[in-house]
Amino acid sequence: MLRFVKIATFCALILAVGCASRHDFTDDTDRGNLATIAELRSLGRESTTTIRQQIAIEGVVVNTNLFGEFPHEMVLQDATGGIVLGVDSEHWNRVYPFSTRVRMECNGLILSKRQGRLTLHSGTSKWGVTSFSQQDLSFYLRIIPASEPQISISERTFSEISSRDIATLVRFSKVRFKEVVPWASPADFYDTRHTITDLNGQEFTVLCAPTCRYNAEYVPSDEVTLEGIIDYRDGEYFLRIVNHGIFR
């Protein structure tokens, strides 16, 4: 009888494992399923791909929506590149502020790669891919306690920007805005474009979302250092700033 009970218990455990949800994660101490963002990129197609592997990535949150610049996007970066999370919440930065180190479980998520931009989505619907809700984020994304700052910002010149910089945090030093105008118009539906120049006269485009809370302020008139996320669209690179108010 005891032998029968043991066998029955073992079979029940096997059945429970076999019926486990695709969201069941390995223990945090098991780092064997970790991948880099570059390795995750190798899974992506130009359209969309469903991740069907028990893999996770670790990275640092390198943007913020504190001032409304990134209302629906969180950007994670590791030593190999950056990735965007589509977020259906304007308050995600309250839980995952700038420089937070996180671990993202990726099994079952939707990976898209368009024009060099890598994005993770929570799923699909009849209208297309779906963004992460605040509840989804708390389920897939875990904060890794860190005792020291995790941010490493790459110093770049305009001419050095390439596809490897998309969705990563960079710094442009000693630049000026070509026109001193307001950051954006809240009445606009589209991003406002600004041109910055460096000491060599080269130009680069800065984008500012109409949702930014400092849209009525004027861009700096002095020489400044800008830090931001590189974006790309239709053959052109852009900068979306993250260091408003601390331009140095």
The answer to which of 7-11, 23-27, 184-188 has the lowest mean pLDDT is 23-27
CATH numbers and ranges of domains, the chain: 21-143 (2.40.50.200), 154-241 (2.40.50.140)
Q: Which residues touch 89 (CB under 8 Å, ≥6 apart)?
A: 72, 132, 133, 134, 137
Q: How confident is the model at residue 13 (pLDDT cuts 50, 70, 90)?
A: very low
Contact criterion met (CB below 8 Å) for 171 and 153: yes
55-91 pLDDT, tens digit per residue, is 999 999 999 988 889 988 999 999 999 999 999 888 8
Residue 38 CB neighbours (<10 A): 15
Select from 60, 61, 59, 58 the least CA-distant residue to 33. Answer: 58
Distance CA 191, CA 80 (A): 28
Using a cut of 0.75, tell me whether the model's pTM lies above it: yes
The lowest-confidence range among 28-37, 56-65, 226-235 is: 28-37
| Least trusted range by pLDDT, from 3-12, 13-22, 193-202, 236-245 | 13-22
